[in-house]
């Protein structure tokens, strides 16, 4: 999965906030980008997101209903993986990141790492 452009990110926010798959018209009505967008623009963005693997779609009558393929959190984690992979020095990036986060974020990260170790060890 590649990183998202501004309009793609806005469309994904709409999908993440929806409790069910929605049609292009519904996405257009819920978008808050500060500018007027055409139906075809939103349709193109959703088609691109589908092609990139960010959304799933299912035919409903003559139109598709779209939903996010992954949660917002899963997508953010994938983006972090891409940043690390493209950094040239993932260990250094992680060290800088760890030094820059809040105490609460450090505790959450530590808890997640402990959980991972337990899962890896089958505990």
Q: Are residues 56 and 94 in the same domain?
A: no
Ranges of H-type helices in 1-123: 6-17, 24-30, 39-52, 72-86, 90-100, 103-120
pLDDT digits (tens, 9 = 90+) for 88-109: 999 999 999 999 999 999 999 9
pTM of the prediction?
Answer: 0.78
Residue 73 lies in a domain: no
Q: Are residues 104 and 62 in the same domain?
A: no
Residue 41's closest CA among 25, 54, 53, 18? 25
Residue 31's closest CA among 52, 9, 49? 9
Q: Are residues 63 and 91 in the same domain?
A: no
Residue 1 lies in a domain: no
pLDDT digits (tens, 9 = 90+) for 9-67: 999 999 999 999 999 999 999 998 888 999 999 999 999 999 999 999 999 999 999 99
Residue 50's closest CA among 69, 34, 35, 63? 69
Positive or negative, the Cα torsion across 48, 51, 55, 57? Answer: positive
pLDDT digits (tens, 9 = 90+) for 33-44: 888 999 999 999
Range of the domain at 44: 6-68
Q: Please give the tally of structural domains in the chain.
A: 2
């Amino acid at each position: 999965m590649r990183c998202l452009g501004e309009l793609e990110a806005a469309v994904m926010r709409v999908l993440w906030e929806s409790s069910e798959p929605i049609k292009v018209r519904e996405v257009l009505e819920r978008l808050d980008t500060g500018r007027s967008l055409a139906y075809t623009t939103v349709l193109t963005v959703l088609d691109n997101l589908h092609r990139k693997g960010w959304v799933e779609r299912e035919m409903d009558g003559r139109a598709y209903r779209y939903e996010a393929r992954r949660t917002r959190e899963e997508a953010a984690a994938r983006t972090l993986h891409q940043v690390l992979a493209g950094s040239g020095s993932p260990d250094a990036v992680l060290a800088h990141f760890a030094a820059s986060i809040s105490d609460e974020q450090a505790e959450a990260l530590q808890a997640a790492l402990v959980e991972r170790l337990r899962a890896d060890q089958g505990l």
